[in-house]
Structure 1
Amino acid sequence: MHTLEQISAFVAVFELGSYSHAAKHLGKSRTTVREHVIAYEDLLGYALFEIEGRKAVPTDKAIQLYQRAKLVEKQNRSLFAQSQTLYETDVHTINICYDVITPLDLIAYIEHQLLSYREDLTVNWLHRTRDQALELLIQGTCDIAILPYRGKATAEKEVTWRALGNVEVGFYVGSNSPLVQRKALKLEELMLETQYITENFATFNSDLLSVKLSPKVHTVSNSDLLCELVKLNGWTAMPKRYMTPWVEKGELVEIKLNEVEQSLRFGLNAFFCFGKSDIEEFSLILDWMHDWWDLSSN
């Protein structure tokens, strides 16, 4: 019977292409990784890699075996993460990462619910990009991350998630922009103007939100600053709920595009490590997120 060390070594060498890189990734010596792979090959009765220079090139059988081995390794890590999480029964501090498109009303609702539930809790809301938030989840310094759905069946990291709801997005310009007067606005006209895009959207590949339509693109980390800049120049694509106060004050105007549907939207998910939802505090947070979305949709 194979061991988990053998499976992990095989997967690492397969993905990284060399024993040295796999050893560095696993935090082991090259000799140890090589021994695990050789032992696995002896067990299977066939070679998994051919050495070409410094590269370990997978054989046809290794290619066929990889997906199953990867699944076993992933399940093992998920089991370990869940078993470790079960020890976190005494919760005093909760760290929640959120993307720029997260409705602020949702954050305020969760904060209120948490403090009503336990006044002694310390709750930290951390604005992070998707990659940063997922990495913090893996490190254990973030408990839940509210992030946009990428349209894929699996996440980039060893985490799970729950779908929350959809966020509507619109296109906006300053109230004095000449684009406001155009009734049949086309995307090509936006290409002539400066496009302002949030740092989060710049790293998120979804429809028009991160597509750099204009040759001149300015990336801005702070959403409020982005709105102030758009008041003076250019255009942006942002969640409608976030932009409502700016529109109501007459400082920004939502524009309609011929090529884009009236309701451009994408999903928002709550990401967390395996086993986290078994802990009462985090289970309640996930439930409250669904409650807020149901209430706001009615």
Structure 2
Amino acid sequence: MFSYDHLTAFCATAEEGSYSQAARRLGKDRTTVREQIKAIEDSYAITLFNIEGKKAVMTPQAEAFYKQAKLVVRSSEALNSHMMNSYQQVFTHFDIYHDALVPTTLIAQVESAFTQRFPHIKLNWLHRNRDEILETVSTGTHQLALMQYRLTSDIKVPYRFLNLGSESFIACCNPKHPLANSNIASIEELKLEKQYITENLYDAIPDLFGVSPDLRFVSNNDVLIELLKLGGWAILSKAQAQPYLDRKVLAEIAIDEVLSPPRSGIAFYFPVALEKEKEVLHIKEILSLYAKKHFT
């Protein structure tokens, strides 16, 4: 019968393509990793890897077993997390990471509603790029995230998520900009002007959101708004832009070739060990109410 250590050795070798690299990743000796894999091979009379030079290449049998083995490893890690956190946790704060696509109105809604229910718990709102976040959330004890949703079959990082839906995006500029004074602008006209864009939005769908050859990257939405006051144009989520549109700080640009606005999804990510905690469940309730009103 295989053990957790046997499966982690197998999965690490499959992912690294090398006994040595797998051993380094697991903090074990190469000999130990090889012996654990050989124990599986001997128990089930199979060959999992062929050695080609310095590479350990999976056999067809190993490829057939890999995904299920990885799921067993993930389930074991999730069970361990639940058992390690089975005692009553006392939270003093949560770090909620978010990227530039998350509407500020959503952040404000969570802050207000959560503080009413749990006034003794602080929420820290930390802006990060998407790729920095998932590993921290999956291994953390009080780290959560709101960011762009991407459909993926990646099973390497254990976490839970709630897909909130998608929001629409519009093009905006300073109300005094020539683009705002025309009834409708063409893509060619937009290409003639400088475009500001957040890194996360560009990374999401560069071919769709990166229009102008004169593209300027910005990490922070507040900085982007200030730059738009000086010139240029940008694509913003409708929820992000609406307060500025209402105050006439920005104006929406109608685009000739766009019949319906592009959309992008937002999701809430949290550690497996926290999925039953009342604080996280309450945040999910707040997000669900907001999503029903603002997302599709």
Superposition TM-score, scaled by structure 1 size:
0.88
Q: Which ranges in structure 2 are unaligned for 5 or more consecutive residues?
A: none
User: Displacement of 1:156 after TM fit?
Assistant: 6.7
User: Displacement of 1:184 after TM fit?
Assistant: 4.8
* Partner of residue 236 from structure 1, selected from 217, 234, 237: 234
Cα distance change of structure 1 residues 175 and 266 upon mapping to structure 2, 3 Å threshold: same
Match of 1:287 in 2: 285
Paired letter, 1:16:
E
User: Displacement of 1:14 after TM fit?
Assistant: 1.0
CA distance in 1, matches of 2:24, 2:208: 38
Identity of aligned residues (%): 35
CA distance in 2, matches of 1:179, 1:156: 46
Match of 1:165 in 2: 165
Paired letter, 1:247:
L
Paired letter, 2:16:
L
Match of 1:13 in 2: 13
CA contact (8 A) 1:174 1:232 kept: yes
1:120 equivalenced with 2:120 (yes/no):
yes
User: Displacement of 1:38 after TM fit?
Assistant: 1.2
Match of 1:262 in 2: 260
Paired letter, 1:254:
E
Please give the root-mean-square deviation of Cα atoms over the aligned residues, in Å: 2.4
User: Displacement of 1:170 after TM fit?
Assistant: 0.6
Match of 2:103 in 1: 103
CA distance in 1, matches of 2:270, 2:156: 12
CA contact (8 A) 1:97 1:142 kept: no
* Partner of residue 249 from structure 1, selected from 247, 250, 255: 247
* Partner of residue 225 from structure 2, selected from 224, 227, 249: 227
Q: 1:2-49 deviations in whole A, cap 9, x for unaligned?
A: 111111111111111111111122222212111111111111212211
Cα distance change of structure 1 residues 253 and 221 upon mapping to structure 2, 3 Å threshold: same
Match of 1:77 in 2: 77
Paired letter, 1:170:
I
Match of 1:65 in 2: 65
1:195 equivalenced with 2:157 (yes/no):
no
How many aligned residue pairs are there? 295
CA contact (8 A) 1:172 1:254 kept: yes
Superposition TM-score, scaled by structure 2 size:
0.89
CA distance in 1, matches of 2:114, 2:285: 12
Cα distance change of structure 1 residues 157 and 182 upon mapping to structure 2, 3 Å threshold: farther
Cα distance change of structure 1 residues 67 and 156 upon mapping to structure 2, 3 Å threshold: closer
Paired letter, 2:4:
L
CA contact (8 A) 2:174 2:251 kept: yes
Three-state SS of the structure 1 residue aligned to 2:112 is helix
CA contact (8 A) 2:138 2:272 kept: no
CA distance in 2, matches of 1:205, 1:125: 25
CA distance in 2, matches of 1:142, 1:187: 44
Paired letter, 1:25:
R
Match of 2:89 in 1: 89
User: Displacement of 1:283 after TM fit?
Assistant: 1.1
CA distance in 1, matches of 2:142, 2:199: 20
Cα distance change of structure 1 residues 181 and 279 upon mapping to structure 2, 3 Å threshold: same
User: Displacement of 1:281 after TM fit?
Assistant: 1.4
Match of 1:42 in 2: 42
CA contact (8 A) 2:139 2:271 kept: no
Match of 2:138 in 1: 138
CA distance in 2, matches of 1:35, 1:66: 18
CA distance in 1, matches of 2:160, 2:107: 20
Match of 1:276 in 2: 274
Q: 71-80 or 45-54: which moved more?
A: 71-80
Q: 1:86-121 deviations in whole A, cap 9, x for unaligned?
A: 345211212211222222222222222232223222
